Amino acid sequence: MSFELILVIVTAVSGVIAYVDYIIWRPKRLKAVVAAKEPIIVEYARSLFPIFLIVLVLRSFIIEPFKIPSGSMYPTLQIGDFIVVNKFAYGVKLPVIQTTVIPVSSPERGDVVVFKFPDDPTVDYIKRVVGVPGDEITYLDRTLFINGERVKTELIGQYRGTDSGTVMNGASVVKEFFSDERSHEILLDMDKKSLDMPTIKVPEGQYFVMGDNRDHSNDSRFWGFVPEKNLKGRAFGIWMNWDSGIHFNRIGKGIE
């Protein structure tokens, strides 16, 4: 049972108890000759319902925190980063069933998104959107092609990480440009065999995603596309990092 489902259940149960008490049980207690003591379950339900409701609304419709557990998004996101995700970036969805009730926008190339892993929806993944519906994607010799055109890149230098990131030291830091206004950095590990992929077309309602740590990422090259319904939101900021201690230089950093 997911945390989101548990949150929905406890919010609903506490709300029902508080409501029934307000319209039925409380009036009876007040009319009693000897004032009856309020049941402990009613006291807790009335006190906790507003808290549960606020957390449910914030987490389901506004923002949700996540922790980065792996290095698949180096150098953009590091192990130990605590990030926040905009839950309404791609539309307002009902909790648990994830049905979109108010469309807002669609993911664009370059967005860093959190989604339910298609092969196991109980697991959340984070990757970068590379292909949108209708795009033809090719990846050969560590080079990305979109609709037959090579994506512009620029070599920055060698990666020098700290703590868990030291495992990637020496990898090539490359800036990748999806447009003149939108770019991000990726890592290429020249010591590994390139994970090539022939041309595929992204179906309607689906997205092709890749990790920024291109040679160390389990992404759409292996398991396919991400359905729109699996999207949870767009990652936009880092509020904390803990990896063998707090890294203050990561706090408050935006996600490009």
Q: State the Rg of the chain over Cα.
A: 23
Which superfamily, per CATH, for 68-250? Answer: Umud Fragment, subunit A (2.10.109.10)
8: phi then psi, degrees, rounded to nearest 5: -60, -45
pLDDT value at 113 more than 80: yes
Per the model's pLDDT, the better-predicted residue between 136 and 46 turns out to be: 136
List the chain domain ranges.
Answer: 3-61, 68-250
Q: Mind listing the pLDDT tens digit for each residue in 51-104?
A: 989 988 888 888 999 999 999 999 999 999 999 999 989 988 887 777 788 888
For residues 28 and 112, what is the distance between their CA atoms, to the nearest angstrom? 55
- The angle subtended at Cα 247 by Cα 244 and Cα 248, nearest 5°, is 155
Buried b (16+ CB within 10 A) or exposed e, 78-88: bbbbbbbbbbb
**Contact status, residue 159 vs residue 75, Cβ threshold 8 Å:** yes
Residue in this structure with the two tokens 């767009």, named with its chain if needed: 234
Phi and psi at residue 6, to the nearest 5°: -60, -45
Please give the single-letter amino acid code of residue 41: I
Are the beta carbons of 195 and 211 closer than 8 angstroms? no
Q: pTM here?
A: 0.85
Binning pLDDT at 50, 70 and 90, where does residue 250 land? very high
Instruction: List residues with catalytic annotation.
Output: 72, 127
